[in-house]
Amino acid sequence: MTQGAGQEPVVRTATLRDFRVPPYARVPVQSHAGEPSGPEPAPAPAEHAHAGDPASYPTPAHHSAPGAHPEPHTAPAEYAAPVPDGRPAAEPLPPVASSPVEAVPVPVPMPVRPPAAEAVPQTPVPQTPVPQTPVPQTSVPQTPPAPQQAPAAAAPMPADPTLHLGHRTTAPPYPAAAPAAPAGPTAPVASGHPGNAFPEGEVPEGYTPTERDLPVINRGDTVQVKASPAPAPAGEAQAGAGPGPLYVVGDVHGYLDELVAALRAQGLIDENGGWAAGNARLWFLGDFTDRGPDGIGVIDLVMRLSAEAAAAGGYCKALMGNHELLLIGAKRFGDTPVNSGAGTATFQAAWLLNGGQKQDMDRLQDVHLQWMSRLDAVVREDDHLLVHSDTTAYLEYGETIEDVNDTVHEIINRNDADEVWDVFRKFTKRFAFRDDGGPQAVQELLATYGGSRIVHGHSPIPYLLGQVGTEDGEDGGGPVVDGPHVYADGLAIAMDGGVTMAGKLLVVQLPLNG
C-alpha cells in the first residue's frame, strides 16, 4: 500500500509495537520528573541520522508540554521499516519542545532540581527547521510551555516490558532520580504503568484500580460475614491437650448394622455414619468378616473412618484377627493343599467351615486384601496390651511388639501357603487366660510386651462364662452379655460379646470404670 497526497501517515499494524498509543499514555507520568535535568543534545538532521544510532532518535511525543496538542502516533525511528528504493520516505516529525524540567540547565555536575516552592521559568528552545520530503505532511503547531510548579519527584519507574510478536523483552529502566523535597500536588498514579496516570489529577468516573489490596466497599446491600471455626465434634479435645479418649471394639463378623448402632451410641459417628469423635482413638480387635451378612461393608466402613478420624486429629485402627488371615488365604491359595499338622487341608475348605460368605468373596478387592495384609497383630495403647486372640502364641514371633508385627507381615508377604496357614492356626488358639494358669499366662505377655492389662477378642464371652449358645442363635434365647468380661485376676478383659450367637457387639471406653 502506498501513501498518497492528502493522506495521513500510514500506521503499520504488523507488530504490537506499532499500535497507536492510547490517550491516557500521552499524559506526563510524574516519575519522569525524576530524570536528570540538563540540556539535551539537539537532534541530528534526519538525512544524517544513522538508522541504528540511538542518539539520533527524535524525542518521544509523550515528553511534550502538558498544554501541547497530542501528536498522531508514528513508529519510533528505531522501529521504522526500511523504505524501498524509488519511493519517497515519510517526513520525520518536527522536534518538539523539551519537558520544562529537562530544559533547565544546571551548572553542577550532579543533577540538581530547583526548590519545590519556586516556579521554574521556561525558555522556548530554538528549533531548527527540518527539510520536508515531497510527501505533504501537516505540521502540528507547537506552543511554548507555560511556567509551572516543579512537579514532585516520584519513585523511579520499574523497567517496562516491551512486547514484540513472539518475544518479550524489557525496556531500559528509567534513570534514577536525585532526591528532592516534596512539591505541589501531582497527578496520582494508580500503579507503575504510564497508562494509569490520571489527567488533571482526577480519577475518571467508573475507574477500578488494579491493586491486590482493594478496599472493601461497604454498600447498604452487603453483609459482612465473620468466619468462625466450626464447633468441635463430640469428644474432641483442644490442640495440645494430649491424646483423646481410647475406645475398643470387639469382634464384628459382618454385622454392619449392629456396629453402626454401637458406634453411634458412643458418640463416635454421627447420624450419617461419619466420624464425630474428634481426636478420639478407636481400635478394632479384628475379625471383621465371616458368619455375618456384610463383612466387606464392615471393612469399607473401618477404612473410611480411618481417613476421617485422621483428618480430625484422632485415629481409627485395627488389629489382624484369625479370620483376616483365613480370608487372605482363601483368596490367594484357594484349594492349594497345606500341611495342617493333622493331615491335608485347604484355606478354601477352612474358610467355608468357619462361616465364609460367598457375597464377601465376590466383593473382595485388592484394596481390601492390601489393607488386611498390613494390619498389626499386637499393639500397646496407654497401659493396655491389645491383641486379637487369648493365646500366648504371639511370643513365638518376637520378643518385642515391633518384632512380632514385622515377622507376621514378612510371612504374609512371602506368599507361602504353609507359612500363612501356620500363623492362622496359632492365632486360632483360645482360652489361654481362662483356667487356673490364666493369670500367669497374662503376666508372661505383659512382662514381655508391656502394659498392666491385656484386652482381647476372639473367644466369645458366653464361651468364657460356660453359657450354652450356638453360633446362629437358633435356641431363641441367646446369652446375656451386659459388657466386657474382666477375669484372670483382673488382668484380662474379653471384648467379644458373642454377636454371632445373638449376643452383643461391644464398643467400650478404656480404662473401664471400676
Q: What is the signed CA dihedral for 467, 472, 473, 474, rounded to 10 degrees?
A: -120
Residue 494 has pLDDT above 60, yes or no: yes
For residues 468 and 428, is the Cβ–Cβ distance under 8 A?
no
Residue 279 confidence class, pLDDT cut points 50, 70, 90? very high
For residues 479 and 502, is the Cβ–Cβ distance under 8 A?
yes
- Phi/psi region, residue 494 (left: phi>0; alpha: psi -120 to 50; beta: rest), is beta
**Residues 437-460: tens digit of each pLDDT:** 999 999 999 999 999 999 999 999
Q: Cell triple for residue 330?
A: 482363601
Residue 389 has pLDDT above 60, yes or no: yes
- Domains in the chain and their CATH numbers? 246-510 (3.60.21.10)
Choose the weakest-confidence range: 239-253, 384-398, 446-460.
239-253
Backbone angles phi, psi at 384, to 5 degrees: -115, 135
Backbone angles phi, psi at 510, to 5 degrees: -110, 150
Q: Which residues, 6+ apart, have CB-to-CB distance to 342 below 8 Å?
A: none
Q: What is the signed CA dihedral for 500, 505, 510, 514, rounded to 10 degrees?
A: -90
Comparing CA positions, the residue from 264, 309, 257, 258 lying closest to residue 283 is 309
Burial 288-324 (b: 16+ CB within 10 A, else e): bbbbbebbbbbbbbbeebbebbeebbbbbbbbbbbbb
> What is the structure's pLDDT at 479?
78
Burial 144-179 (b: 16+ CB within 10 A, else e): ebeeeebbbbbebbeeeeeeeeeeeeeeeebeebee
**Residues 304-355: tens digit of each pLDDT:** 999 999 999 999 999 999 999 999 999 999 999 998 877 789 999 999 999 9
> What is the structure's pLDDT at 336?
95
Comparing CA positions, the residue from 148, 151, 152, 98 lying closest to residue 127 is 98
Average of per-residue pLDDT across 232-251: 71
> What is the structure's pLDDT at 513?
77
**CB count, 10 Å around CB of 46?**
16
> What is the structure's pLDDT at 344?
80
Residue 21 confidence class, pLDDT cut points 50, 70, 90? low
The dihedral sign for the CA sequence 294, 297, 303, 304? negative
Residue 26 confidence class, pLDDT cut points 50, 70, 90? low
Q: State whether residue 358 is helix, strand or coil.
A: helix
